[in-house]
Amino acid sequence: MQCSYFDAERCLSCTWMGRPYAAQLAAKQDLVADLLAEHAGLDWLPPVASREEGFRNKAKMVVAGTVDAPTLGILDAAGAGVDLQSCGLYPDGLQAVFPVLAAFVTRARIEPYDVPARRGELKHLLVTQSADGDLMVRFVLRSQEAVTRIRKHLPWLHEQLPALVVASVNLLPEHKAVLEGSREIVLTDEQTLRMRVNGLDLHLRPQSFFQTNTDVAAALYRQAAAWVEESSPASVWDLYCGVGGFALHVADPARDVVGVETSAEAVASAALTARDAGLVRTTFLADDATGFALAADAAPDLVVVNPPRRGIGPDLAGWLERSGVERVVYSSCHARSLARDLAAMPSLRPVRGRLLDMFPQTTHYEVVTLLERA
Q: Which residues of 130-145 are buried (b: 16+ CB within 10 A; e: fewer)?
A: beeebbbbbbbbbeee
Q: Could you tell me the end-to-end alpha-carbon distance of the chain, in angstroms, rounded to an integer? A: 44
- The amino acid present at 2, given as its one-letter code, is Q
Residue 115 near residue 178 (C-beta atoms within 8 A): no
The single-letter DSSP state of residue 210 is -
List alpha helices for the chain, DSSP H.
4-7, 21-35, 92-95, 97-107, 147-160, 214-231, 245-250, 264-276, 289-295, 313-323, 335-343
From CA 242, how far away is CA 67, in angstroms rounded? 36
Ramachandran angles phi, psi of 56, nearest 5°? -80, 135
* Residue 44, number of CB atoms within 10 A of its CB: 15
Residue 263 near residue 286 (C-beta atoms within 8 A): yes
From CA 332, how far away is CA 308, in angstroms rounded? 8
From CA 107, how far away is CA 152, in angstroms rounded? 10
Q: Which residues are catalytic?
A: 333
From CA 242, how far away is CA 270, in angstroms rounded? 8
Taking the CA atoms of residue 311, residue 312, residue 313 and residue 316 in that order, the dihedral angle to the nearest 10 degrees is -170
Residue 364 near residue 333 (C-beta atoms within 8 A): yes
